[in-house]
Structure formats: structure tokens, C-alpha cells
Structure 1
Amino acid sequence: MNHFPEVYESLRFLLIDLQKQLQTIYDGIAENDPSLFLKSLERIDYIENAHLSLLNRSYNSSLRQDREYQAQLQGFEHISYSLHHLSSQLEALCFQLEQCKSLKLLQKKRIFAALEDLNKGLSLIEPAVESEELTLSIDICQLQGRIEKSCRQQLDRYQDNLKTGQYSQALMQSSFIVRDILNMADALLKIGEGIISGKLGQFIQIDRYQTLEASLSELDYDLTEQSINIHSMGETKSGCTISGVTSASEAQEEILAIFKQGRKDKLLEEKIGIESWHEKFPGIAPEVYSYQKQGDKAALLFEYLTGKTFDKLLLEDRQALQSGLNRLFATLSEIWQATEKSKPISANFMRQLQKRLKNVYAVHPEFNLKSKGLRIGDAQQASLEQLIKQAAKLEEKFQVANAVYIHGDFNVDNILYDAEKDDISFIDLHRSEYLDYTQDLSVLMVSFYRLTNYDPKVRRRIRLTIEAIYDFGADYAEQNNDNDYAKRMALGLARSFISSTRFVLDKEHAKSMLFKGRYLLEQLINLPKKELPNYQLPKELFRD
């Protein structure tokens, strides 16, 4: 991590002055000399200057570095901010000590032990930065637990003594001092994480690192002997973080595995979803290497699948996109044929939409016309709630096709196409289930439409792609005597157009999606009964 001598120099000065500040406080407690508490404050300006110097040097260095070194610089900055915060906490501790009339109740033995651990952590920072291994960085993080344990024991004892009613004020002041030291331990944890992050190439918390370490051990990959890099590959809408894990000796593109961390319930659903796909249609989903859980969090380490997502294919030449679509349609036909159940299961599009309205209104409150709708003169515009209620009654009457096993979150960035292998893969499979196939198709169509690329050529390609998806579904429906495909698809599209506005901040684009969704609902609701059997979805809807 020590590839920036000018930045490292500022860090060393920062550490020197911070250790002087800490030592002066330690001596003040040991000698019961309040003047030393004030003397410790003399280091604050030096610490402030060293911190600012590090940030300035880091910024200047970052302008000429690639992504690998950018992560190291961010690691330095993270350490510097944590040290600067620690200095502020020491300053607050000084004021607490100065106001304390007596230090007799402090139980100095425990206080000194905690301050010595704090100083030990500071003394480990330089060798941890210089080391090629992560052992010392982890040691710094673990000191936080030792300090916390010592301080908690002290606080519990103060709480018991307070019940006697004696020395209440002195016990309260002592409690504040111990709590200040307890809070400082968190700075050590953040410093250790900053060093680890700089070495790995992406910010990572210690519990996440330990989970990654446990996951990689199942691949017989020893982090103490082999170094790795991790880099962000995005974040899901459910809040899960996704990282690529690469060997430090390999090119950045050669990814060993994907490491995904987030809520335990979501990742457990995804693990189950992946395993179910392996049973029903082998080869379409990645292999799970490891599943680790900790409290309400969990992590998945799974196979890195080659290929490009369809939002990337969209921006390449038309042939790449067309080849991907052809293989996708063929793959879906095989999946649906292999997994079809002789049992219809409705998607209940209107029920889905109703559940998502609250989140839609949170992003676009102007869409909420309340329960009565909007009246301008003699013109009455129904609220979404009214339209959904009417459309739900209509939906109950539609014939539903036999259920097939669907992806469940069939967005453009959850489907991979490998052009060399002419192969399709699925990722993010936590919502897979047996359902109406129009669920996946309608979601995919709108996920193309909601892309915020407004280049006319791209928008035209999006329109043609959506039409191709719709036509593929129509052909499948005709082959399987699915007579209500167009009507269910209209409801599915309405559901996705309206509910997806919560992911679109561009007001004009979001309004366009809302209006398209409302139009489909109003068209179906107002269509005469005799015309309903022959309903055809208007493809003009896919134009901007």
C-alpha cells in the first residue's frame, strides 16, 4: 500500500503528533496533573495540518493514477479521517478530565490498559501499511474488541456503584470518561478497515472481510498466502453489494468469483433460487461456492459467469443485440417447455401494483391524485387506486396460461449473453417461482424502456427490441392456445411501467412511463365487452 511516499510522510507526521497527544493525556492521569490535559491540546493544530496535507497530497496523486492505486489513496484518506476524528475525541476527553474533581474513582488500571491498547493500535499502523500481508491490519481491528470489553466492564461497575447513592457526581464523570475511551476504540476499527481496503482495492468492513475469508477458504484459497483484489460491481435495488474477487497476480478482468453481501433473507432466497434452477434447468445459473451468515446479514460467493448484460448489448452493434435476443428466445422456449406445469398460476399484476404504489408516491408524490382522482371542469381523471381496482376485477376473468418456472426479476442487467459460446445465463435469482410467463416478459420489456439513454438511435433500438419480445411471447401464446396473452400482457406492462417509475428520477421519463401504464389500464377498462376477446396491444405505445 505504501506506493505514495509524500502521502505516507503526512500520515507519519499525523501519527507522531497523535501519539504525543495520547501520551500527554496518559501522563496527566498517571500524575494527577490537570495541566497536562491542557498541554495535550497543543498538538491539535499539528494534527489538523498533517491531516489536510495528506488529503491535498492524496488528491494531487489521484489525478495521475489508475483504479488500483486510487483505492490505495482512498485507504490513506480513510485512515486520516479516522485519526483526525480520534484526535477530536481525545480533545473531548481532555475537557472531561479537566472538569473531573477527583480521579480516584477512575480505576486507573483498566483506564491505562485501554489507553495502552489504543496506543498499541496506533503504533501498528505504519508496519501494517508497509506489510504485504493483512495480519497486522486485522490485529488493529481486533484491539477494538479488547478495549470495548475492558470499558464495558468498567461501566457496569460504575452502574452498580451508582445504586448506592454515594459519590454520584464523581461516578457520572468517570462514566463519561470511560465512554469517551470506548468510542475511541471504534476509530481503531475504522483504521484497520482502511488499511485492509487499500490493499484489497475496495472499501471493506472487517466483518465483511472475515466473511469473504471464510468463503474463499472453501475454495482452498488462503488469504494469508495469496493476495486478492476486490472491486465493486454495483449494488442491487434490495441493497446487496456486489464485488468481483480477483487474484492480485492476475489481470483485473480475470475474476475468481462474485462476492455478494446483504440481508440474510434476500441472499437465502437467492441461494435457494440458484439451487432450484440447477435442478430444473442445469447450466443457466452460477454455481454457489459458499454461503455464510452472520446475524441478519449473509454473504454468497458464487461463480463468475462470462458474458454481457443486455443493457450493454444494446449499445453495441445491432447484430450483437439480435444474436443475444435470438438465443434468449430459444432458451426461454426450452425452459418453459421443460418446466411447464398443467396448472395456471396468475401473476395478479394489479395486486403487485397496489403494493408498490406507496414507494412510487414516495419518489413521485405528484402522481398521487388521492382516492377521488382529479377533476378539471367536466373532465374527470381517475386515481391510480380506482383504475387498479377496476382492472383487478377484469384480470380475474382472463384465462391464465399454464405456469412455467420464471426468473422473477427479469431485468436487462440480470441476463448475460456470451457471444463466443452463444449462451444465456441468469443472475439475481431470489424471486424465481412458478408463474405466468407474461410476468418475466413484461418486466423485461419495461426494463429496456426505462433505460435513461435518450440518443434517438438507441431509443429506436429499444423500441424494436420491445416489439421483438412482445412478438416472441405472442408466437408462444399462439402455439399453446393462450387466447388472453395480449390482455394479460397489457396489465403486466401497466404494472411495470407504473411501478418502475420509482427507479427513474428523470421527471419527463417517469411521466411518460406513468401515462403509458394509465393508458393501458384505461383502454382495457373502457373497452366494450364484445371487443375484449379480440383485443390487440397497441405497439405505438413503445414509441417515445
Structure 2
Amino acid sequence: MLKSFEGLDENFRFLIMEVQNQIKATFEFLLEPTPSTYDKIFSKDDYIDNLKNVIENKCFTTLNQTRLGQDQMKYLRAVHIITINLERIGDYCVNIAKQMGYLTTHRFLENFDYKDSFLKIHETVSEILPVLQKANLSGALSICRMEDELDLMYKENFDKIMIHLRIGRNVEDHITSLFIIRYMERIGDSLLNIGEALLFVIIGERIKIQQFKALQRNLNKSGLQGDVTDVDFQGIWGSRSGCRIARVEGKKTPQARDSIFKEGNLRKIRQEKINLECWNEIIPGLVPKVFSYQEEGENASLLTEFLSGCTLDEAIFNSDEEILKNALFIFEQTVQHVWEQTMSRHSLPTNMMRQALDRMSSILQVHPDLMRPAMGIGSVAIPSAGGLIRSCMDIEVRYPAPFSVFIHGDFNINNVIYNHLDQKVYFIDLHRSQHSDYVQDVSVFLVSNFRLPAFDRESRARITATIRSFYEFSKAFAKAHGDESFDIRLGLGVARSFYTSTRFELNRAFAHAMYNRCLFLMERLTEHRLEDPAQFSFPLEILNY
């Protein structure tokens, strides 16, 4: 693999050797500091920097000027990441040598257990090239695990130093020793980055060591025997919540079932598992089955069934009109079944406008100008955006949902899968599911259609037809079940969704289009006292673009 990039092989080898030499020289300097060793460390630092620049330039030039396969591109990316982190390790060695000048005696470091760790750092760096050449998975994991060892070394020495600092003994020397040991701990962070870059080359996808371990445990628990290299691991997307999502498929066992691996925040992944199990009890087959679940510290991971098909937004853009109509029919029939099956005839307060208020700081961080102040034209007062939200919150209190259903909770159009062959739809991404007002799902779905990034006339016509179809379906459902305040709550929900969606939209003109629609809806809702729900009719044309 290395020989396929002329000039890269040699410099990459030299960089590894020079960083090894730098680590060795720094260790010798800690044991017996001399001016010559100090000068050697500093002079080598410039050479390491130059090698890093040469390799970086070669990587970018090759990417720019050469037609590369996917494996070659992944290899270059990994080499670039490894190079950056090797240069950082060289810098940490220089910083350690500098700190030695602040000790009253270099023998003070003998109070701390660091020597074995330094030797292991040197040994670990020497393994980088063999692991890369042989695509050695266990070797890559061993490099990653060095970070845990250095973290443990740092913690033990940190606790020892804190004891002495509390009683005021040799304060300057202890603080300097802490800095030295801290730089060693940061070398561990760089070795972790290097190990994960090697995993990227071997597995074929960018994956952190904790995600790798979680994937391994989930595969074992789900019954798949063998190594992680026996599966195809294809990153699909990273959600806004920070979760990593990937598709997993057996390589050597064609009968192995496809699955989706999801790893992230413990609370969110745990809630998704609970919700998936709840959905499968209520309506079996509508959502993915859970194959395995693991918790580790503050994170959790989940292996679920892979549902084949296309997302509903793909049906809008990639299918003929008859397929889209069929998809919408099946979708609406499924939604109606869910709502009727899970309906609870108890009124329920909603908090859609509270959500808008809670997310205001995130919105203003992206678009600082999306907060209209109070103003006036002559004697006509124009309320501020915040004032409109608070007025709408008062309206929301007066019109609770007349019943609740088990909602999706994040009912974006790309969270619905349509399988044309099986004539079924499926729901995915369900960590927000709960018993609540179905209008919340309706408003999110409608605005997610509006936000689709297609602006040609034909695509917008299909989007508008989808919006109208689902609105008319939802309106008919409301009428059939005596929901007289449907239009008011839909106005509140759509206004909320327009406003909160602006934080995901960097196109200023489009963000302002959503913001202005939000203001228009809130002004319509608040211009009358709305003592009678019939006073307000939702203006569907506001969802045209």
C-alpha cells in the first residue's frame, strides 16, 4: 500500500523514526539532563515539523492531482491524521524538556512512577508502521489502549501530587512534575488518534475506539461470531444529537442479517431502546427490532434491524407520481391506524411554544437578527417576537389537546421508510416517542417537507402536493374525532417548527422565509382573543414556497 505513493513512504518512515528518537532523547533527558541532549531535542523538533509539512503537502497534492480509489483515499487520510499526531508528540517532548528547567533537582521526578510509561510510549510508536502495513486490527487496538494506560498513570501521580500540595510541601517542584506528567497524558491522546486512524484504514470507516468496542460487544451479543473485520461497517450519518449511526452487514456469511448500529448519549439511546420495544408491543413490525443493547459509562449502543426501502423524501424526488401517491396512501393509512390504536380520551396540555422559547438561544447563535424587537407605526403597536411567543403560550394553555396518541416525536419526512415491494412503511429514530398531541407530529412533518432542499418548480409541486395530502388527511381525522381546536394547535405547532428549524439553516434568505412565516402565524393567532376555535382557520398556503 505504501509503495503506491512515491515519496510518501520514505518521509513517513523517517517521521516515525525521528519521533521515536525524540521520545528516547526526552526519556534520557529526564533521567540525566545535559545541555547536549537538550539541544538535540530542540534541533530535532524543526526536522519533525519539516517532515510533517512535506507529508501533508504530498497527501493534499496526491488527492488533488491523482484519481484515487476509495481505499487509497482512506489511506491518505489516515497517514495525514497520524502525521499530525506524531508531530504533536514531538512537541510534547519539547515541552517536557522545557519543564525540567523549573525543577530544583531532576531527581525529584524519581518520586513518581513514569518510567515504564515512557518506555511503552516508545514501543507503541514503533508499532505504527507494522500495524499499517499488515492492517493488523489487534495492533491498532493495542495502540488505542495506550491512552487508557497513560490516563491511569496520570491519575495515580496526580493524586499523589495533590496530597503534597495540600500540605504545602515542595509546591513548585510538585506543580512542575504535574505539568510533565500531564504532557505524557496528552501523548496518550495523540496515540489514541493514531490508533483510530489505523482502525479507519483497516475497517474502512471512521470509528472511535469506544464505538468500536460497543460494536464488538453488540455483535457478539446478537449472535454474530468472528471478528469485526468480518462485517461491512458503513457509516450512514451522524445525528445532530451526536449519535453515530452505521449499517452493519456480514461479509463472509451472506445469510447474516443487516443491522443498524447506533452509539451515543446514554439517556437518548436508552430511551430509544425503550421506545422501540414499546412500539413493537403496540404495533409489531412498524419499527426496527432490537438485536442487542449495551451501556458503558455515559454512553450506550444499540444494534437494531435494518429496514430496507427508501425514505419518504426520496420517494418525492426519485419516484414517478403513481409511486409517490401510493407511498402517501400507505403512510397515511398507517398513521391513522397508529393514532386510533393508541388514542387515550383524556385532554392533554401541550408545550409547543415553550419549546420555541427554550431553543431561542440556539436560534440566535446562528441567526442573531431573528428576534424582532417591539416597534410601532404611528399609534399601531407591533409586538416583539418574544412577546408573540408568550402571547401564543397563553393561547396554548386555553386549548389543550382533547386526546393523546403515541406520537413519533421527531416526525421528519426522512424518519419514515417506504418499502414499495412490501407495500409498507416503517418509522425510525424514535427516542422522542411518547403519549402526546398528534398535532405535534403533524406540524413537524409538514415543516420538514417545506424545508426539503429542492427549489425547481417540479420538485416544489410534488412537495406541496405531499403537504396538502397529509394536511387534508390530518384535518379529516381531527373532524372525525371531534377535535375542534386542531387548526389553532396546528398554527402554534407550525410556527414553533418554522422558528426552531432556522437554527439548522445557514441559507439566510431561506431562514428568514421560515422566520417571517412564523411571525405571520403568531400574529394571526394573537390578533383575536380566539374565544371560539372556529375563529381561526389554518392558512395552508403558508407552506407553499
TM-score when normalising by structure 2: 0.90
Between stretches 218-227 and 516-525, larger displacement belongs to 218-227
| Equivalent residue, structure 1, for 2:294 | 292
| Equivalent residue, structure 1, for 2:39 | 38
Q: Deviations over 1:519-538 (max 9, x none)?
A: 22322333486985264323
Whether the 8 Å contact between 1:232 and 1:244 is mirrored in structure 2 is: yes
The amino acid that maps onto 2:298 is: D
| Equivalent residue, structure 2, for 1:79 | 82
Secondary structure of 1:505's counterpart equals coil
| Equivalent residue, structure 2, for 1:282 | 284
Q: CA deviation at 1:501?
A: 2.0
> What is the correspondence of 1:245-260 to structure 2 with a 5 Å cutoff?
245-247=248-250, 256-260=258-262
CA distance in 2, matches of 1:531, 1:494: 20
Q: Deviations over 1:204-234 (max 9, x none)?
A: 2222211111111112334537434433322
| Equivalent residue, structure 2, for 1:347 | 350
Q: Deviations over 1:359-418 (max 9, x none)?
A: 333333323235xx2223333211233333433444444474432221111001111111
Q: Deviations over 1:180-208 (max 9, x none)?
A: 33332222222212211221222222222
| Equivalent residue, structure 1, for 2:428 | 427
The amino acid that maps onto 1:195 is: L
Seen in structure 2, the aligned counterparts of structure 1 residues 29 and 387 have a Cα distance that, compared at 3 Å, is: closer
Q: Which runs of 5+ in 1 are unaligned?
A: none
| Equivalent residue, structure 2, for 1:191 | 194
CA distance in 1, matches of 2:30, 2:394: 76
CA distance in 1, matches of 2:462, 2:307: 26
Number of residue-to-residue matches in the alignment: 540
Whether the 8 Å contact between 1:199 and 1:229 is mirrored in structure 2 is: no
Q: CA deviation at 1:469?
A: 1.0
Seen in structure 2, the aligned counterparts of structure 1 residues 151 and 262 have a Cα distance that, compared at 3 Å, is: closer
Q: CA deviation at 1:104?
A: 1.9
Q: CA deviation at 1:298?
A: 1.6
Q: Deviations over 1:416-450 (max 9, x none)?
A: 11122221111111111222222211110011112
Whether the 8 Å contact between 1:291 and 1:301 is mirrored in structure 2 is: yes
The amino acid that maps onto 1:135 is: S
Seen in structure 2, the aligned counterparts of structure 1 residues 144 and 422 have a Cα distance that, compared at 3 Å, is: same
| Equivalent residue, structure 2, for 1:310 | 312
Secondary structure of 1:271's counterpart equals helix
1:124 aligns with 2:127: yes
Seen in structure 2, the aligned counterparts of structure 1 residues 37 and 463 have a Cα distance that, compared at 3 Å, is: same
| Equivalent residue, structure 2, for 1:413 | 414
| Equivalent residue, structure 1, for 2:442 | 441
Secondary structure of 1:332's counterpart equals helix
Seen in structure 2, the aligned counterparts of structure 1 residues 160 and 528 have a Cα distance that, compared at 3 Å, is: closer
- Which of 310, 316, 332 is matched with 1:329 structurally? 332
Q: CA deviation at 1:42?
A: 2.9
The root-mean-square deviation of aligned C-alpha atoms, in Å, is: 2.9
Secondary structure of 1:429's counterpart equals coil
CA distance in 1, matches of 2:347, 2:531: 25
Whether the 8 Å contact between 1:194 and 1:203 is mirrored in structure 2 is: yes
| Equivalent residue, structure 1, for 2:473 | 472
Percent same amino acid among aligned pairs? 29
The amino acid that maps onto 1:274 is: L
Q: CA deviation at 1:118?
A: 0.8
Q: CA deviation at 1:282?
A: 0.8
CA distance in 2, matches of 1:408, 1:174: 52
Q: Deviations over 1:68-113 (max 9, x none)?
A: 4433322221111110100111122222335545322221994432
CA distance in 2, matches of 1:77, 1:489: 51
1:463 aligns with 2:464: yes
| Equivalent residue, structure 2, for 1:182 | 185
The amino acid that maps onto 1:244 is: R
Secondary structure of 1:345's counterpart equals coil
Whether the 8 Å contact between 1:28 and 1:34 is mirrored in structure 2 is: no
Q: CA deviation at 1:146?
A: 2.9
CA distance in 1, matches of 2:251, 2:57: 28
Q: Which runs of 5+ in 2 are unaligned?
A: none
| Equivalent residue, structure 2, for 1:390 | 391
| Equivalent residue, structure 2, for 1:379 | 380
Seen in structure 2, the aligned counterparts of structure 1 residues 453 and 224 have a Cα distance that, compared at 3 Å, is: same
Between stretches 47-56 and 116-125, larger displacement belongs to 47-56
TM-score when normalising by structure 1: 0.90
| Equivalent residue, structure 2, for 1:53 | 54
Between stretches 154-163 and 410-419, larger displacement belongs to 154-163
Q: CA deviation at 1:16?
A: 1.1
